[in-house]
Every structure is written in structure tokens, then in C-alpha cells.
Homo-oligomer: A and B are copies of this chain.
Amino acid sequence: MSDQIFSYSGLLNFTEAVFRKIGCPAQDASTAAIALLSADLRGIDSHGVARLSGYVRLWEVKRVNAAPKIKVIHETPSTAVVDGDSGLGLVVAPFAMKTAIEKAKQAGTGWVSVQNSNHFGIAGHHAMMALEFDMIGMAMTNASALVAPTFSIDRMLGTNPICVAVPAGEEPAFVADLATTTAANGKLEILQRKKQKTPLGWIQDKNGNPSTDPHELKNGGALLPLGGDREHGSHKGYALGAVVDIFSALLSGANYAPWVPPFPAYVPIPSEQPGKGIGHFFGAMRIDAFRPAVEFKKHMDHWIRGFRNAKTKKGEDRVLIPGDPEREMQEKRSKEGIPLIEPVVKDLEQLSVKLGVPFI
């Protein structure tokens, strides 16, 4: 089963047309398509166009509002709370990140918590919006619960990613974009397709026993927080995932913990809903609110080169800077196109027929 290669522009146009077809205003459709496809470009295939039909199904069951009135409902000089009006997270998140950037221009930093949103694609895309303004960008989001806290068998947290993007000078930007679990759900999907087992420390079964079955989530199992088990620091991964939940949802008034609505439209929403939709959190810090940007970036280059030149252990050819693999993938796929596996291609073709939007 070989992958088919598609051009970025072809997939972008199709995605944009799909979003327009379900009622997104032109500008929103474009914003959402760019955000979604950034995942495919950066090699995070689980969060890209493979999810397009999932977003459409959320619209079909009226959990996504295609033409939301996104607005700031509370603010101070350096903070805002945004109500996403049930819009696509792919549209709500860039609105909120722009708000953070505008706040930072005035107050030095900007921090925006978001309620009433939906899944926003990859955190990195939004955090990196800050880079061109010589700002550090941050983005995080909660998600439906798949992760058991240390010592528990209940799923209480999403994979709750954190991204921090830091501008450099001559070197490419530092972009740390990480789920607060040992492995993100997308990695399980890859192993499922390859019919391979997971390493120990990624997942547990419904009784909390270590497992290597990538299908374990379907049987009541749970993903493990970064660290894996208590002896290896899983309480730290759990704490970080919890912080993401608190910043994204408790500060904004979104749903949190096991009450976050799931992405698959066929999975019922938890009957208790302590907030609205899912929550995100964004930050922007102007470098020159601390020190001159030129000076900072000179030191970032020095920092980055220090790590690139660190000695590797035997068998490894280089020490990576956070963001290296995704940036290199983006360079490659921008030129060579984006490979999609057969089930995703079929899914997009069906979507094309259903909506009457020509596929590429």
C-alpha cells in the first residue's frame, strides 16, 4: 500500500473549498485550511487533512458553527478571554493568538484563554505566529480525556499539548511542540496500521497494567503521562497536562478534565458540561519587553549552536534542536508534496462526493 503524493496547493484549495461549502466565510475558510494543512507540511499527519472529514462531521451534528461571531468577552491590558462561539478551533485559535500579539505590542506580553472552541489542529502553527513580531509565542489546548493520571485507571486528561516558539537570529526558530504524554495518539494510529506493538510506558490496560497493544484505548485502557510511571516521573507529565487544562479551560470557562467534548462526532458529549466547548491558551511575549531583540537573538544563535555542536552518543549522528524535524519536513514537503495513505485519500474522495466539491 504505497502513499499517494499531493501538492500542498492542491490539498489547500480542496480543504478551503470544503470549509466554504459548509458555510465558512471566505477568510475563515482560508485561515482554517492553512492551519489544518500546516500539520501535514510539518509531518504531524494525524492532525492534518486526515481530520478534515471529522471536522465536517462535527458541523453536521451542529457541534461546529461554521460562521461564528468570535469575540473578546473580558480583558485587561495583558489578558483576554475569547468566546469562540462554537467555531472551528482552526479559526478561533488564530483570532486568539492575534489578540495575544496585539496585547503584547502594548503591554509587553499578552495572554488569552479561550472557551467555547473546537480542536485547533497543531499548537505549533498558532504559537509560531508570534515569531515574525520578534515575540515568543505559546499555545496549548485541552482535549477529550484519554490519559490516566499517575496511580489511576480513569481517563481524566487529554494529550494536552504545549508549544513554545522562540525567535533566533541566523539560526531557525526554536519550536518545542509536545503532547504532555509519553506518546501522542497519532503514534498509536501508526502502529495500529503497521500491526506493531507499542513500547512499554506509552499505554496501560483498563486495570492499569502495562500494555503494548496500540488498540488498548478501545478496550478501556489509557495513555500514560510523560514519564510513563511514577518511578520515571509520570507525576510530572500528569502535572503538566493538568496545567494545560487549567490555563485553557478553568481560566476561560471551557469544559475540563473528563468533561471535554470528544473530537469524533459519533462519541456522545459527556452529560456533565461544567463549561463551554473545549479550551485553549495562548501567550505572546515581546522580546524587547525584556532586552533588545538583536541581542537576544545573537544569544539564541549561540545557544542553538552550542547544542548542535554537543557530542553525540555512539550511533547517533546529531543533536537536534526542538523544531528541527518539523522544519526539515516542511522544507521537503513544500517542494516534493504531501504523501497521504490510502484510507485518507479514500476518505477525502468520499467527502468530495458527499459535498460536491471536486477533489484536486
Interface residues of A (CB under 8 A from B): 74, 76-79, 81, 106-109, 111, 113, 136, 148-154, 156, 164, 166, 174, 176, 178-183, 199, 201-202, 204, 207-209, 226-228, 231-233, 235-240, 242-243, 245-246, 250-253, 256-258, 274-275, 285-287, 289-291, 295-296, 299-300, 302-303, 306-307, 310-314, 316, 318-320, 322
Nearest Cβ on chain B to A116's Cβ, whole angstroms: 13
Q: Which residues of B contact A227 (CB under 8 A)?
A: 182, 226-227, 233
Nearest Cβ on chain B to A210's Cβ, whole angstroms: 11
Docked complex Cα distance between A231 and B232 (Å): 13
Contact with A108, one of B79, B246, B275 (Cβ below 8 angstroms):
B79
Nearest Cβ on chain B to A174's Cβ, whole angstroms: 7
Decide if B303 touches A240 in the complex (CB within 8 Å).
no
Known: A176-B240, A207-B314, A314-B207. A250 touches B151 (CB 8 A): no
Decide if B151 touches A199 in the complex (CB within 8 Å).
no
Name which residue of chain B comes closest to A253, CB basis.
B291
Docked complex Cα distance between A78 and B77 (Å): 8
Q: Which residues of B contact A106 (CB under 8 A)?
A: 77
Decide if B242 touches A176 in the complex (CB within 8 Å).
yes
Docked complex Cα distance between A33 and B228 (Å): 36
Docked complex Cα distance between A239 and B5 (Å): 32
Known: A226-B233, A322-B235. A79 touches B289 (CB 8 A): yes
Copies of this chain present? 2
Q: Which residues of B contact A182 (CB under 8 A)?
A: 227, 232-233
Known: A176-B239, A240-B176. A74 touches B290 (CB 8 A): yes
Given contacts A166-B250, A181-B233, 11 further A-B contacts (CB under 8 A): A76-B286, A76-B289, A81-B291, A150-B320, A153-B312, A154-B311, A207-B314, A226-B226, A242-B322, A245-B303, A257-B303
Contact with A291, one of B74, B232, B290 (Cβ below 8 angstroms):
B74
Contact with A296, one of B154, B239, B245, B251 (Cβ below 8 angstroms):
B251
Decide if A256 touches B299 in the complex (CB within 8 Å).
yes
Nearest Cβ on chain B to A223's Cβ, whole angstroms: 11
Q: Which residues of B contact A316 (CB under 8 A)?
A: 151-152
Name which residue of chain B comes closest to A151, CB basis.
B316
Decide if A310 touches B149 in the complex (CB within 8 Å).
yes
Known: A113-B290, A312-B153. A77 touches B176 (CB 8 A): no
Known: A257-B307, A307-B149, A319-B151. A107 touches B81 (CB 8 A): no
Contact with A246, one of B236, B300, B314 (Cβ below 8 angstroms):
B300
Nearest Cβ on chain B to A277's Cβ, whole angstroms: 15
Name which residue of chain B comes closest to A243, CB basis.
B164
Known: A78-B108, A109-B78, A250-B296. A156 touches B310 (CB 8 A): yes
Contact with A228, one of B79, B148, B179, B232 (Cβ below 8 angstroms):
B232
Nearest Cβ on chain B to A1's Cβ, whole angstroms: 25
Docked complex Cα distance between A251 and B76 (Å): 24
Decide if B239 touches A311 in the complex (CB within 8 Å).
no
Decide if B226 touches A236 in the complex (CB within 8 Å).
yes
